[in-house]
Structure formats: structure tokens, C-alpha cells
Structure 1
Amino acid sequence: MKRSLSILIAVLIISCKGNNEGTNKVLPIDKQATEETKKLYANLFNIKDKGFMFGHQDDLAYGVEWKYEEGRSDIKDVTGDYPAVYGWDIGRIENNADKNLDGVPFDKMREYIKQVYDRGGVNTISWHINNPMTGGDSWDNTPGTVASILPGGEQHEKYKRWLDSAAAFLLSLKGSDGKPVPILYRPYHEFTGNWFWWCKNTTSKEDFINLWKFTVNYFQEKGVHNLIYVYNTSDANVNTKEDFLAYYPGDNMVDMVSFDIYQSGGGEKQDKFINDTKRLVGIIDEVAQERSKLSAIAECGYEQVPYEKWWTETLMNSIGNHEISYVLVWRNHGWNEWMKPPRMHYYAPYKGHQYEKDFIEFYKNNKTLFQQDVTKFNLYK
């Protein structure tokens, strides 16, 4: 009752203020953004003091011991409700492949994204793009790749073709109303690490910023105006606000600031996760307020969630009272024989998980927003 009452009050407040008021005050960087994209952006500002949205990668596509079952979700199996934010990845779109790097057919992904939009949820997309210089995957971090795809580089024309494939997919995302689905787009994510070809250990600050600007401008030239651009670091090599902003491409190139962070064990590793998350949430909150941007934990989690109170204590305490838009945990792959060692690979609870009760308490918390909550906010109106 308390949760429902707080959501009702929030909806009434937003209705009284009028969504157009928010639209006039905050606009995405794309001056030709679709009306639905502008409304989503403004409404995300309007609701961020109501709590943070919970997100899950590939939530509708598969879960632990199931795949491609219409309407199913591990989150829904546990809580009776879907997440508010749904993560997708378009890696392999550059190859004109039928499926992405995790095996999700692009046709199915397009339909899932439509379903999310139709019921008022939020979609976010990353791109684990192959290495255009070597032919390897995203993790082929050969130095000089970024320079090779900038204007004048030997792989520039190839890279433009890859961007064309992505643009075509993004333009194909339509709701039942026939309108383009707004997307929180997170290019060149985790660049402060050292594992991708676009990471800062393989390229210069100037080349990274030029690549970011080129990508944004290229998509806009191709008529893609349904993107909200998300600047994203990892937790690696980010200790201060200056570290976080070191490769920042400018306020006219970024709509949202975010970071990715994972917990890798208990004890001291859990303490490190909490302390690092608290520090980074504080940094992005400060940056967001100073620059009138949104903020988020774009990826996080603890594989298999082997701690009884991870959701209600570890994660909630790490976020504290900071006003972020969302926190998204990674995918529920299930048994993964390719990992070393082979093991269960999942980051959200499923029905029957030993600590699912803690997630239900997390769901009931007034600060967490799921699908039923955000549907009431009419984010696209």
C-alpha cells in the first residue's frame, strides 16, 4: 500500500506540473530528436527524485533454463512485474548477421524493444562492435584501431558501412503507434578499462573524442533522431571527477553520464565494491547536477548473487540517497560451458533462487521503480 500510494502521489505531482514544462527546460543533444525522445528525456528528469529504475540485460529473450518464451522474464517470475529498463546489445550488426553476439536474433530483439515501448518501459542499447582494423572481436584491443576508422584512416569507409548497418536497425525500431522507439544509446562503453579496442590504453584522448563526435554526427546525418547518448566509464582508473571527465566529449555531445561496476567476491571484494560504487555514484551525481545531465549505473551485478542481502543491503547502501535514473544488472545466461571454469552465469534472481526473498523486498522498496511504476508515469507523453 505504501509503495502504491507513493507512486500515485508522484504521478499526480508530475501531472500537475505538466510534462511539457520539463520538455521546455531539458532537451537531448540532438536538436532534431523525435517528440517521444524529447518527452522521455524530460520525464526521466521529472521522476528521478521518485527513485531509480531497475534494469536487466536481455530480460525478455532468455533466463535461467529457458529461452524465447513469449511474455516470460526471470524478474517477472519472481516479482510478478517486469523491469523498468531493458538492456540490449547490437554486436554483430556490423556483419549483417541474423543474431547478435549473445545469440539473440535481431528480429526478436526488434519485437522485444517494441513491446517494452508499448507498455511504457525504457530500452537501452550497447554495441560490442568487432575490431574493424584486425577483424577480431571487441576484446581485440590492438592499439591504433580508433585512429584507423577516423576520417582519413584506412578503415574509415568500412566503419561508415558498419555505422550504416546500425543506423538501419535503429531506424527500424517502431512502436505499435508507428513512431520511432527512443533508445538510451551507450557507445564505446567502459572505455576507462583496458579490454576493448576503443579503451583509453589503446587510443589518445583526442582520437576518442573525435570518434564520439563523428559517431553522433553520422547517426544524425543518417536521420537517426531517437537516441539519448550515454557516456560510460568502467570503475577501472576512475578515482576522481577529473578521471571520469578525462575523455568527456562535451556537454553538446552527451545526454547521460554513467559507469559500469561488478562485484567479484565476498569479504574485502564486497567492501571494495561498496566503497567504489559509493565514490562513483557521488561523482556522476555531481557531474550530472553541474551539467544538467541524467546519471545511471549502466551495468552492475554479482554473478550468481551468492549473498543473502545483496539487493537490500549491498546495492541499496552503495547507491544511498543519490538520485540516479537507473541501475541495470547483466544477463541471466544460465549454464555457460565456455567460461573458465564452466559455471552458472546470471546476475538477477530467478524463481527458486535461494535469495529471491531479498529481491522481493528490494522490489517493494519505495525507491525502486519497475515496469508497473514507470507505466503510470507515461514517460513518452
Structure 2
Amino acid sequence: MLELFNKWLILIAIFFFSCESGTANPVREKQTEEVPSPSLCTPNPSKQAIKVFNYLYEIQGEKTLSATMANVNWNVNEAEWVYRHTGKYPAINGFDYMHLYTSPCNWIDYTNTIVIENWWKQRGLVSASWHWNVPKTQGNTTEYAFYAPGKGQGQAETNFNAGKAIQEGSYEYKILMADLNQIAYCLQQLQKKKIPVLWRPLHEAAGGWFWWGAKGPEVYKALWALMFKTFREKGLDNLIWIWTSEGNDSDWYPGDEYVDIIGRDIYNQKEVLNLEFEYCRLTENYPGKIIILSECGGVSKISEQWNAGAKWTYFMPWYDYERTNNTLDADFSMTGHNYADKEWWEDAWKQDFVVSRDELPSMK
């Protein structure tokens, strides 16, 4: 009788242990299966885009990917500078279609994707933005700019009207659609190579300094939707869409159906609690979305941000034009940097949660 009683005690203990651990709880297993998986807003996304997105989704709060930005042109100069001084390559290299209006030309051809192909073959991930240059004035074919009137701070400005650009038949609409068709063609060259792109267009709109944000949130959102629709019709399936918030600007958000990742650009902010505040605000305003530090410079070290709770899924310091404009110049050997110097990067590499290129899984 005592032996039977002991067996019952053992069975009861096993049952309660299973409920606590979840190892044999059919109710809990069913609940797990019912949780919807994250999905890209691009219809029928490529296998590679899905792999990149799922990886970013899975590492949230556990890991952060390192990134660098091309020095204006089609290059990986900043990534090479980081490697020269620290021995590691960042996981992501950012590119910019800034000079689309001149491409192809003898100094830049965005349809020549060799530099991106080589980065991708070495397991590096690819991001791309677009400082969208348009004619300074109507009919102008020699002068281009992306700053809105009064916002250039000494740089070229354009009176290009975003409101008119979304109106079929207008001069601005013709320019807009020609540019969208051209950049779609460039992105299709990467699609053919099965290279996914972390696509970050129309950034920092609420700041008002670029023409695409100069006419308010409703025009901006219509412009974003037009771009998304155009690319969908072109069959682009390799894009992961990133919207850049300027902080308290929810009126400018294009909508979940158009955005996969939320970015934030932050400069000259050493107070780590302010960085943590920005991160938390985005996680609260856009629950379920991946949150990244899409541009940064002169900010607290990544270790400090992470420990404070700002657990960006990736971070990208901006480029220092003089430092990395030419990898053969003496400047390239110097360890100082306008936005993230050698010491800043060395701190990043010491953290187990910071991922370098060699630590990435294959996304092919």
C-alpha cells in the first residue's frame, strides 16, 4: 500500500513539474502555435528577405547588429576603416542612391552591383537609403537638390512641390514617376542576384528639411504609398521597408501595411537616458515592430545604451567624409572620427550582444 502511495506522489510531482516547465503541457503548446508569425509587408517576399527579417525579429532584445554607411558613393569605405582599426567588419553596410539623377555616368553606375554582390557573398547584409535629388526649379536639367526651401543651411535647395508630385499630369508627377521607375530598375538588379535590401526611403520627413516632408504628413504618406504601390507593380520582392521616425510624429507614420521596421536617427546625444527614452517611446508607439538606430553620431557607447535599456536591433554610425573618402589617403589611417571613433567601436566589439559580419548566419 505504501509503495502504491509513493507511486502516486511521484506521478503528481511529474504532472506539476511538467505544467511549470511547459515540457508536456498540451494547452501551452497549442497557445504557442496560435501566436501569429511576423510577416513582411511586401507581397510574396523573396526567401532571402524572409530570412533576414526573421533573423532580425528573433534577435530583438538579445543581440544588436553593427552597421556602417557608405561614404556618399558606391563603396564600403567606412566598413574597411572599422576593420583596419579593430579587426572586425560590421554586419551591415548601408548604401545611398543619392546621385541617381546622374547615374549611369563615368564615376557612378548604380546598375553595377559588384560592390554589393561582394559584400553579400561575404555574409554581409545590405541597407539602402535615398537622398532623393530632384530639379532645383521646374525644367532645370543641370541643378538638383533634396533640401526644402530655407532648410539647406548653405547647401542647394529645391522648390519641388511634393503635393503636386502626387497629382497625375503635373510636372512634378512626371519627374517623380521617372525617378521611381529608374530606382526600381536599379533595385531589380539586386533582386536578380537574390540580394535582400533593408530599404529606408523618405527618411526624417517630419523634420521638414527635405522636400518629401515639406508639405505635411498627409502628402508624405500618400507619397510613401505611391512608392510602395509602384514597386509592388514592378514585382520587387526583396525589400524590407524601414520608416524613420523623428520622435513624436505618429501622424507621419505610413501604416503597418507599408512598414516592417521603425528607425530613429540620433546625433550628438551623450545622455544615455535620453537615448533609452527614444527607444522606449518607439517600442510603445509601434508594438511588435523591430526598432533600430538607423543613423547615429556622437552618441553614448553601445554598451551604455544597452545597459540602460536601449536595445536597438541594429545601429549605424554615419560616415566621416574626410576620414574615409579615400582609403589610400593618410586620413584613413587615423583613429579619430566625427561620429564613431576607434574607441567607440572597440567598446562595441567587447560586447557579446554586438554582432559582426563574421558572426552572421547565411541568409542565402
Alpha carbons of 1:40 and 1:233: their partners in 2 closer, same or farther (altered >3 Å)? same
Q: Distance in 2 between matches of 1:223 and 1:321?
A: 39
Q: Paired residue for 2:257?
A: 252
Which residue identity lines up with residue 139 of structure 1 in the other structure?
Y
Matched, 1:148 2:164: yes
Q: Paired residue for 2:103?
A: 96
Match of 2:145, SS state, is coil
Residue in structure 1 matching 2:207, options 188, 193, 206: 193
Q: Paired residue for 1:106?
A: 110
Which residue identity lines up with residue 147 of structure 1 in the other structure?
G
Unmatched tracts of structure 2, length 5 or more: 1-32, 150-157
1:107 is displaced (CA, Å) by 5.6
Q: Distance in 1 between matches of 2:133 and 2:292?
A: 26
Q: Distance in 2 between matches of 1:253 and 1:137?
A: 26
Q: Scaled by the length of structure 2, what TM-score is found?
A: 0.75
For 1:263-274, what aligned pairs fall within 5 Å after superposition? 263=268, 270-271=270-271, 274=272
Paired residues of 1:62 and 1:333 also in contact (CA < 8 A): no
Alpha carbons of 1:144 and 1:115: their partners in 2 closer, same or farther (altered >3 Å)? closer
Alpha carbons of 1:145 and 1:51: their partners in 2 closer, same or farther (altered >3 Å)? same
Residue in structure 1 matching 2:354, options 348, 351, 368: 368
1:95 is displaced (CA, Å) by 3.9
Q: Paired residue for 1:158?
A: 175
Q: Distance in 2 between matches of 1:32 and 1:57?
A: 29
Q: Paired residue for 1:324?
A: 312
Q: Distance in 1 between matches of 2:218 and 2:344?
A: 45
1:275 is displaced (CA, Å) by 4.3
Deviations 1:48-97 (A, max 9, x none): 23311111001783648xxxxxxx70111122221011111001213434
Q: Distance in 2 between matches of 1:156 and 1:206?
A: 16
Paired residues of 1:285 and 1:323 also in contact (CA < 8 A): no
Matched, 1:138 2:138: no
Identity %: 21
Which residue identity lines up with residue 120 of structure 1 in the other structure?
R
Which residue identity lines up with residue 181 of structure 2 in the other structure?
D
Which residue identity lines up with residue 357 of structure 2 in the other structure?
Q
Match of 1:360, SS state, is helix
Q: Distance in 1 between matches of 2:147 and 2:161?
A: 12
1:106 is displaced (CA, Å) by 3.0
Structure with greater Cα Rg: 2
Match of 1:184, SS state, is strand
Alpha carbons of 1:78 and 1:335: their partners in 2 closer, same or farther (altered >3 Å)? closer
Which residue identity lines up with residue 270 of structure 2 in the other structure?
Q
Q: Paired residue for 2:185?
A: 168
Paired residues of 1:294 and 1:325 also in contact (CA < 8 A): yes
Unmatched tracts of structure 1, length 5 or more: 1-20, 65-71, 264-268, 303-309, 338-343
1:115 is displaced (CA, Å) by 1.8
Paired residues of 1:63 and 1:334 also in contact (CA < 8 A): no
Paired residues of 1:28 and 1:228 also in contact (CA < 8 A): yes
1:194 is displaced (CA, Å) by 2.6
Deviations 1:298-355 (A, max 9, x none): 10012xxxxxxx6xx5443234334322100111322699xxxxxx9x9xx9654496
Residue in structure 2 matching 1:84, options 75, 83, 91: 91
Match of 2:203, SS state, is coil
Matched, 1:277 2:275: yes
Q: Paired residue for 1:7?
A: none
Paired residues of 1:140 and 1:197 also in contact (CA < 8 A): yes
Count of aligned pairs? 307
Q: Paired residue for 1:56?
A: 68
For 1:217-366, what aligned pairs fall within 5 Å after superposition? 217-234=229-246, 238=247, 243-263=248-268, 270-271=270-271, 274-288=272-286, 290=287, 292-302=288-298, 314-319=301-306, 320-334=308-322, 352-353=335-336, 356-366=342-352
1:256 is displaced (CA, Å) by 0.5
Deviations 1:342-370 (A, max 9, x none): xx9x9xx9654496345323212112111
Q: Distance in 1 between matches of 2:234 and 2:205?
A: 25
Alpha carbons of 1:358 and 1:86: their partners in 2 closer, same or farther (altered >3 Å)? closer
